[in-house]
Structure 1
């Protein structure tokens, strides 16, 4: 069978779930779209260990790192638009059949984190590259990792004039330039390109295929909410409605306990010494100054559990198991805290844990607030 036809059939038939590891961004209480979830160990869902590769390959030795002198602004012709920055991409030549047979190119479009993370945990490309004799390219998203304009992250995020170049349209134009450049350098003009991404990266892959059909023959978008925008999805079908549905399906009593807890937290917080009581109840790392600190923490926990509620771990079931496992005589907040412990393990403290904001925390919050307006309301 023609290898190209076989490749297209593969793309139609395969629905791949990219399994990755990292901590979800919680800045401004905005759920991340990324597929990156934790390697589940009951009581410690989001492991802080370095992610382990899924495939039997060594990304350090099999991938070569390159830098492309990327254009800062692809869409304007002001003098500053022609400034450049170094954009990182990595290539694995191991399985490539070469340009003489027009062997395909699998291009992974980086999302809201450094490409190193994707490289070590996205096994789909490497697991299929041998079969299709494909070249693998991983391209880092601008403003993440080592692909930061203006010389430093501080300068890049300094003001509106520098961070204004941080958007999906510019990122896709970056990817197009690099793919055209690589094909030219390898004399692989006739090698079909399949762009691949997951979640936000999958959105980029699908948009890329539409905007740059002369560059990409096809796109594989895994778990990509490409239609999930406010002018398409009504508010009642928003993100939190799906989280609610997940918990209701796992346990109606668990759902009702969570629903009841929000007003109880506010009621207690409004009383004298109420915040002190909540701080002790939930063993916070520092005293609560407002009830929203606790509510945002629980909100993020439930969202993460629902977003990554995959087998065999089923973290929503774990949370509800903790909540429902407390005897009926206990108060609502004791049950909620039991769910926190079931999910995160028995730690010295929870809520307001000291941590430095990651580049994803800052970058993804900017992208969501400025460009990716998805409905979150119930």
Structure 2
């Protein structure tokens, strides 16, 4: 089963644009934004998960004729597309009992991966007597406007409807449709999302409080915009994770970059590096290797989940190498430990997934998360270059990103001052080993906008399926979240009863 449709046309277009950027001399600092995803870590650990995971017979797949543009009244705005959502009625107490609805908000991927990996809803459905709903994000999976993926991704005119505000309105419309269809008018809805989907969950609660009673926003870096969070915070946490795992591992990584640069500057140096790291094709520049290593260390930290703990895996590989080996051989041993045995490791041939293509547009339009690398990390300093980023996006799509739009539309600056008397019923959960946690809400904002954090947690770990081997701190984190949600629902029922008695 293939959950990553390929994009040969877009890939060719992208490469042509990148070559154009290179020829114009654009790009000085860092312009890459590390991927957000609630399920990427578990899929990297178990690549066969999607093909091997049994899809429950209790799941019903449906499609809703979704409005293309919720915010305009031009004729073209009334066009519709089929948006996929999935429901599970197995444990629902029914509309007559006003039984709750748990709604998972899809992120930047087809819904299939979430059905296989996100377990929070199913694990708690029986205790809440809840109806489960999973909604796919527009422009991903089977929820494609304009009749085909090729047409939808054709240019900025068709991609212009691909943004978070439209997505949240989609979710609100589908949830209201479900409640109306089932006559579940008084069933409270709790929306759940992770990573980018966690941002959407919190924003939906703030924008549509009549639709969702509360939100669980797991690993949602809503403050990593517009200089609210220091740009170097992400890689500072990556460094911290590795240093806590092993001081010698940290020092080896820290010292390796200058060695790579020194070898690369020599005649046939790139060939030497290609041989040391068993690259899948010869390196054209040292940055290919360095970017691959940076991304490996970042992914290991972001998804540093039990029982494997990838940061420890990398460091065991590096520290376990023969002490007489040179520094790059030790680094390569860490790569092999993390990736497993393969014929080659760096720059493998790949076809871009729809998530890669979609996320590129999202970061080039509104999700401008300015992540750079500061001076006090195990990496070479590389500031986020907003001007170069804007130019790259304009070269790709013909339109510039809006780096300040997220904070204009959803807020973020002075969040405690603003939300403590406005918002309610949001859980911001974070694991502090996740580099994106530095852009999350880590302190309580009010009595009902709460931060639930764990020192040892990683990205979206709390909303993945529970496992018998889960550490006690993770079990307690989930129990805390369930207790909070149960309190929201109990208060809602009490308020509902009081209102109905007055009628």
Give the TM-score normalised by structure 1.
Answer: 0.87
Cα RMSD (Å): 2.0
Q: For 2:268 and 2:185, how far apart are their aligned partners in 1? A: 70
Among 150, 169, 173, the residue aligned to 2:146: 150
Q: Which residue of 2 aligns with 1:50?
A: 49
Contact residue 52 and residue 121 of structure 1 kept, 8 A: no
1:260 aligns with 2:255: yes
Q: Which residue of 2 aligns with 1:160?
A: 156
Q: For 2:291 and 2:361, how far apart are their aligned partners in 1? A: 19
Map 1:113-192 onto structure 2 (within 5 A): 113-192=109-188
- Secondary structure of the 1:86 match is strand
- Secondary structure of the 1:59 match is coil
Q: For 2:41 and 2:75, how far apart are their aligned partners in 1? A: 44
Q: Which residue of 2 aligns with 1:338?
A: 333
Among 36, 50, 55, the residue aligned to 1:33: 36
Q: Which residue of 1 aligns with 2:217?
A: 221
Q: Which residue of 1 aligns with 2:85?
A: 89
1:186-220 deviation per Cα after TM superposition (whole angstroms, max 9, x unaligned): 11111111101111111110110000001000111
Measure how far apart 1:142 and its partner are.
Answer: 0.3
Q: For 1:292 and 1:150, how far apart are their aligned partners in 2? A: 38
Contact residue 229 and residue 375 of structure 1 kept, 8 A: yes
Contact residue 98 and residue 186 of structure 2 kept, 8 A: yes
* Equivalent pairs, count: 346
Q: For 1:307 and 1:204, how far apart are their aligned partners in 2? A: 20
- Secondary structure of the 1:165 match is coil
1:358 aligns with 2:357: no
Return 102-111 or 309-318, whichever deviates more: 309-318
Return 210-219 or 74-83, whichever deviates more: 74-83
Q: Which residue of 2 aligns with 1:8?
A: none
Among 309, 316, 319, the residue aligned to 1:324: 319
Q: For 1:285 and 1:99, how far apart are their aligned partners in 2? A: 57
1:77-125 deviation per Cα after TM superposition (whole angstroms, max 9, x unaligned): 2221111111000111111111111111110000011111111221111
Return 223-232 or 241-250, whichever deviates more: 223-232
1:273 aligns with 2:268: yes
Gaps of 5+ in 1: 1-20
Contact residue 105 and residue 135 of structure 1 kept, 8 A: yes
User: Do the aligned partners of residues 252 and 329 (structure 1) sit closer, same or farther apart at CA in structure 2, a change above 3 Å counting?
Assistant: same
1:265-304 deviation per Cα after TM superposition (whole angstroms, max 9, x unaligned): 1221122111111111110111111111111111111111
Measure how far apart 1:328 and its partner are.
Answer: 2.9
- Secondary structure of the 2:86 match is strand
Gaps of 5+ in 2: 5-13, 15-30, 374-503
User: Do the aligned partners of residues 224 and 53 (structure 1) sit closer, same or farther apart at CA in structure 2, a change above 3 Å counting?
Assistant: farther
Give the TM-score normalised by structure 2.
Answer: 0.66
